[in-house]
């Protein structure tokens, strides 16, 4: 491929990318008032979820009273307790504030002891693994 042709193709691609950015910004301005109303609904739902999550965390703390846990294991247990429908190791790590690349490896270390102590149940469906509170 000639360099001049390649350069022209790249310039055309850049023009289309710039055009799509402008249209995206216009749509964001139109949606803002609706987003504010949705935010109010989300806050009320979040308050209800927090109540349920706090009850699950309290149950997990009571179950772990007789088992010595490190702060990392306790944090992982709290995150699993907050997600009653099951959560993957990567999502556990992300909720704990880890980087995207290291999240699953970080959570797996804390989950090993919790599975051994039967505080957390490991469920494998196909190639996806989720953890639930026992």
Here the CATH number for the domain that contains residue 72 is 1.10.10.10
DSSP state of 117: T
Answer yes or no: is 127 within a domain: yes
Answer yes or no: is 128 within a domain: yes
The pTM of this model reads 0.52
- Structural domain boundaries enclosing 115: 58-133
pLDDT in tens, 90-99: 999 999 998 9
Answer yes or no: is 85 within a domain: yes
Q: What pLDDT is attached to residue 94?
A: 92
Burial class (CB in 10 A: 0-12, 13-18, 19+), 110: buried
Looking at the chain, the whole-number percentage of residues with pLDDT higher than 70 is 60
Answer yes or no: is 97 within a domain: yes
DSSP state of 87: B
Total domains in the fold of the chain:
1
Helix (H, G, I), strand (E, B) or coil at 131: strand
């Amino acid at each position: 491929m000639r360099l001049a042709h390649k350069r022209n193709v790249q310039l055309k691609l850049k023009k289309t990318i710039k055009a799509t950015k402008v249209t995206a910004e216009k749509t964001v301005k139109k949606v803002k008032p609706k987003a504010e109303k949705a935010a109010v609904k989300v806050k009320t739902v979040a308050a209800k979820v927090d109540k349920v999550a706090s009850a699950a965390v309290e149950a997990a703390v009571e179950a772990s009273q007789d088992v010595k846990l490190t702060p990392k294991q306790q944090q992982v247990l709290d995150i699993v307790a907050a997600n009653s429908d099951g959560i993957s190791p990567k999502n556990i790590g992300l909720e704990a504030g880890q980087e995207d690349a290291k999240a699953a490896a970080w959570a797996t270390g804390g989950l090993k002891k919790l599975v051994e102590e039967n505080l957390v149940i490991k469920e494998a469906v196909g190639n996806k693994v989720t953890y639930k509170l026992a």
